[in-house]
Amino acid sequence: MPANLTPAYYEAEEAYRQADTIAEKQKALRRMLAVMPKHKGTDHLRADLRTRMAKLRDQAETQSRSGSRWNPYTVRKEGAGQVALVGLANAGKSHLMAALTGAKPRVADYPYSTLEPQPAMLRYENVLVQLVDLPPIDMHHTNGWIRSLVRQADVLLVVLDLASDPVESLELVLEELTTIGLEPVVRLPAGTHD
């Protein structure tokens, strides 16, 4: 059954995506729940929003108890799954994320413009998937926190620059992923040959 969500709901959802603090996210979630139509088509979405509220409440309590500060090198999973964008420098990861999610990561012609993980939510039909733009894979010098985020992701999306040698770039990325301890499964589009 379709949810028939209102423009006010989508505005609140955008505010949630742009929120930087737990309090801002909680406010946006409360607004999403308030303006969401109440019928059978929104039952699952309503439950998902309440689950997010509970997680944010737990996170806020944990931070206040431990006095810990926010770590910019961790990304908490949200949505139906987490997809990490990996690739070499200037492969177009940030540009792809901006195009798919509407987020505004730093997109530049020079290498290493992404220094920290940048999460954003991608809506596919009624499902939210978290994309995480990561700094480039650097052969045999990939930071430990990047390796950790790559291991925690549900899916790795390798982004290649087709202007350079894409086969060589893919081999370099796969080699680095292997040194991290991952065994990538490469799925080539139908009709592609070696």
pLDDT in tens, 44-87: 888 888 898 888 888 877 776 655 555 666 788 888 889 998 88
Residues 86 and 158 in one domain: yes
Query: The CATH number of the domain where 113 resides is what?
Result: 3.40.50.300
Beta-carbon contacts of 156 under 8 Å, excluding residues fewer than 6 positions away, are 83, 84, 86, 150, 177, 182, 184
The pLDDT score that the predictor gives to residue 91 is 84
The pLDDT score that the predictor gives to residue 137 is 81
Residues 54 and 123 in one domain: no
The pLDDT score that the predictor gives to residue 62 is 73
Low-confidence ranges of the chain (pLDDT < 50): 1
Of 23, 41, 66, the last residue of a domain is 66
The pLDDT score that the predictor gives to residue 191 is 65
The pLDDT score that the predictor gives to residue 113 is 65
Question: Which residues form the domain of 125?
Answer: 82-180
Q: Let me know: does 79 contact 129? Beta carbons within 8 Å.
A: yes
Residue carrying structure tokens 């926190």: 145
Q: pTM for this structure?
A: 0.57
The token duo for 74 is 């961790």
Residue 192 within any structural domain of the chain: no
Instruction: Say how many domains are in the chain.
Output: 2
